[in-house]
A and B are shown apart, each in its own frame.
Chain A
Amino acid sequence: MLEIFTALADAVTYDLLRVDSQTRLGEAVHFFIEDTAKIFFLLTFLMLIVGFLRSWVSPEKVRYWLEGKPKMIAYALAVILGAVTPFCSCSSIPLFIAFLSSGIPLGVTMAFLITSPMVNEVAAILFGEAIGWHFTLAYVVVGMATGMVGGMFIDGLKLEKWVEPFVFQVKRADGELNEPQITIKKRFSHAWDETVDILKRVWLYVLIGVGVGAGIHGFVPQEWFITHAGTDNVFAVPLAVLMAVPLYSNVTGVVPVAEVLMEKGLPVGTTLAFIMSTVAISLPEIVILRKVLKPPMLVFFIVYLALAFIIVGYGFNWLYQ
């Protein structure tokens, strides 16, 4: 079905713009047109479906489902629900307080808070389109595992001491707030608003990312990445993780670049580590949590994520060698 975009790029590049298909410029222009068209189509179409389906889950419902569950079940549920439940970073503080005040263990709460931003639907869609849907699966599974193990560490090390004490004094809300009534039509219009909102936020990054990708695709020689960032270079994975930190929230721009880097020989694990740190290690969002978490916990959080992605990077490089 997606061949239609190749045909479109063929027509625009070779017939309309009359760029020679044998030149580097031709390759770059073709790549740019095919990829931008495909990415915008997939984002719009899949975000509408995702937005509609997830109007049935909310943090309030997640809390209800997690309350009083045995720990192991709560962990599994927390990361599955974390992967599908959206919440904006400005809701993370009330969410954190509300979870803990309902008696949900700190480890389970953190597992949810780590997984939710890390398993990002936009990244998952772009990942599938650019690199292959089995990598979307790897990304989701690795994201949930990182959240679960992180939560278990926090629980095992009894890191409650690194939570601001006032949080534990908050009493659970009496009685349940009813969810507002939502009709199917409203769910659709909600999904539509959300899709438009995401497109508005990411379109420029997509264009820049695909533009940079197209440039590399057309002009950087194949051997460069294999020589400099191949599996032989042991520093490539940690370096990729570090480089990703300032790129936060531009995952839409990063994935098209990563696609080309992989095509030019950048190993799978290094690419995965790079993309996951772009999505998950977001300093501004981690700093918001300072209101409820003491500084050592924030440091623990960042170091844990960085180490986790480095291990993931080496692991996947080894698996796919």
Chain B
Amino acid sequence: MKKVEVFGTGCKTCIATEDMIKNKAKSIGVEIDLYHIHDPVEIASRGIMTTPAVIVDGTLVHKGGLPHDAEIEGWIK
């Protein structure tokens, strides 16, 4: 199971990103381990300064703005 981390301090785009990933995983039937990290100290100490950012199994795959639907499938499959 892939570990997907969404980093965001609570802005609309960050929440939408988390929802998009959740929905995508459900619709293609892939189980993922999804976390949403809100704490700015943890976000900063992971080296992230642009939110929302997405890290899948330790690799940064996205930052800033909403991801595209097709991209998400590529990350979690």
**CB <8 Å contact, A60 and B45:** no
Question: CA of A63 to CA of B45 in the docked complex: distance in angstroms?
Answer: 13
- Of the candidates A60, A170, A292, which one forms a contact with B50 in the assembled complex, judged by CB atoms under 8 Å apart? A60
* Given A88-B11, A193-B66, A291-B40: A95 in contact with B45 (beta carbons within 8 A): no
**CB <8 Å contact, B41 and A58:** no
Closest partner residue, chain A, to B12 (CB atom):
A90
Contact with B along A156-174 (1 / 0, CB 8 A): 0000000000100011110
Closest partner residue, chain B, to A86 (CB atom):
B64
**CB <8 Å contact, B43 and A94:** yes
**CB <8 Å contact, B44 and A58:** no
Closest partner residue, chain B, to A175 (CB atom):
B47
**CB <8 Å contact, A97 and B44:** yes
* Given A88-B11, A193-B66: A101 in contact with B44 (beta carbons within 8 A): yes
B14 at interface, CB cutoff 8 A: yes
Question: CA of A89 to CA of B55 in the docked complex: distance in angstroms?
Answer: 21
**CB <8 Å contact, B65 and A98:** no
Closest partner residue, chain A, to B9 (CB atom):
A90
* Given A97-B40, A180-B62: A59 in contact with B49 (beta carbons within 8 A): yes
Contact with B along A178-218 (1 / 0, CB 8 A): 11100000000110011001000000000000000000000
- Of the candidates B8, B46, B60, B68, which one forms a contact with A179 in the assembled complex, judged by CB atoms under 8 Å apart? B60
Q: A178 — which chain B residues lie within 8 A by C-beta?
A: 59-60
B34 at interface, CB cutoff 8 A: no
- Of the candidates B9, B62, B64, B68, which one forms a contact with A94 in the assembled complex, judged by CB atoms under 8 Å apart? B9
Q: A194 — which chain B residues lie within 8 A by C-beta?
A: 65
Question: CA of A197 to CA of B66 in the docked complex: distance in angstroms?
Answer: 10
Q: A179 — which chain B residues lie within 8 A by C-beta?
A: 60
**CB <8 Å contact, A93 and B50:** no
Question: CA of A272 to CA of B40 in the docked complex: distance in angstroms?
Answer: 35
Q: B14 — which chain A residues lie within 8 A by C-beta?
A: 90
**CB <8 Å contact, B50 and A98:** no
Other CB < 8 Å A-B pairs besides A94-B44, A170-B41, 14 of them? A59-B49, A88-B51, A90-B9, A91-B9, A91-B50, A94-B40, A95-B44, A97-B44, A98-B49, A101-B44, A173-B45, A173-B46, A175-B47, A176-B47
Q: What are the 6 closest A-B residue pairs judged by CB atoms, nearest first? A: A90-B11, A173-B47, A97-B44, A59-B49, A98-B44, A93-B40
5 contacts between A and B (CB under 8 A): A88-B11, A88-B13, A88-B64, A90-B51, A93-B9
Binding site for B on A (CB under 8 A): 58-60, 63, 87-91, 93-95, 97-98, 101, 166, 170-173, 175-180, 189-190, 193-194, 197, 291-292
